[in-house]
Chains A and B, each alone.
Chain A
Amino acid sequence: MRRSRAYGHRGGWAAWAFLAPVTLYLLAFYAYPLYRNVELSLREYTVRSFVQGGAPFAGLDNYAKILSDPTFGPALLHTVVFTLASLAFQFTIGMALAVFFHQHFPLSGTLRALFLVPWLLPLIVSASTWSWMLNSDAGVVNAALGAAGIGPVNWLTSPDWSLASVIIANIWIGIPFNLVVLYSGLQAIPGTLYEAASLDGATGWQRFWRITFPLLRPVSAITLLLGLIYTLKVFDIIWIMTRGGPTDSSTTFATWSYRLGFGNLLPAFGPGAAVGNLLIVMALVFGLIYIRIQRRQYA
């Protein structure tokens, strides 16, 4: 008895020792920054109190401030539109391409690899390239439109178009991810099902809606969820292409949070952190919804 207890004890210590690094890592790099962000958003920070300490506790003042800010409404709307439009197009186009490449025609491997290029490029490169292409005066897109007899569009500099422009660029960047994940999902569907379906005389359309789509549902769900979390926090593309402008017309929560915290000579850390926390909550809500759906599926 005594021996085994001692052994179990030592085993317990060993277990803790193995657990310690990952716990410390999680605490130092996840829990603490999160805690600091919540704390920042609950205090009234000025540059002075940021350096000297002693920022007064402000409760939910920062949240009240951003909720009543004239930027809040547009930023929320743009975040929702940006996320939904990006996801819808990325997923649809990604799915279409995945089904297309599933046919295994000659060169399909090479072409599929080419589709991955946007994914491999650093975001600063792709975003700068898009902003050159969409330049009102010297951009290739307007040159092409001009050749087709359509007047120039101020893609990045008109409040009516700037959000559409950043969405287009983001869709382009997101397609490869959807393509890759959905394509690998397709590999898992047994070919015999399709053979049986064609013997029963199912059309291509029916095969897609009756076999591919239902069997891809778990993969689709995780693709959409990951895409959603990525897209909610997209910052670089928008900041490089339009700085969230002109006049908030392409501002999302992510760019607004950055602008409050770092975009001005005089940083507003409190409100910036508050906007960031709203984003985290949004992502968390969708994550929880996903977990619930998944539980129900496996239950």
Chain B
Amino acid sequence: MIRNDVFKTLIPLISEHLVVCNIGAPSQELHALDDRASNFYMLGTMGLASSIGLGLAAAQDKPVIAIDGDGSVLTNLGTLATIGNNAQGNFTLLIIDNGSYGSTGDQPTYAGMNTDLAAVAKACGAETVLTVSAEDTAKAVEDAIASDQMTIIVSKCESGNVKVPVIKTNPIVIRERFMEEVRR
């Protein structure tokens, strides 16, 4: 299974929740599959989906799912220490770990080599960290949303993208409609 296949299994579980999605292919694929006001798409900055998700979870009570990638977490590795020291029970961080920089031509990441992001997350102080197969990801996310424990899920899937258009929605529209969902 590639990322897009994992997304298909996730959509019935996350579509009613606040989702912060990683830049590039992940946001574009989620947007093409199931564009929702409750999705916040990162259009510009790499590596900050987990930080935005944590800030959002800390500021309000609704469940928040941040969908990040292994490459993006590596670019902002300090985020795991901040998350590990500021656990929010309504926060789920899903790291789609396909061992590659999907948006830039599938170059390999260190997470696909010697680096174990789940072990890093644990060492950073996060209590509930799971490594799951692509097939088992939806169940893990469902359980994480239902629990009041902050959960970090590293989903091991295959490298690969599907061809989808770039997101043309105005960023202010993305933010405003997302904030309306937060307030709802």
Is chain B a partner of chain A in the same complex?
no
A residues with CB within 8 A of B = none
B residues with CB within 8 A of A = none
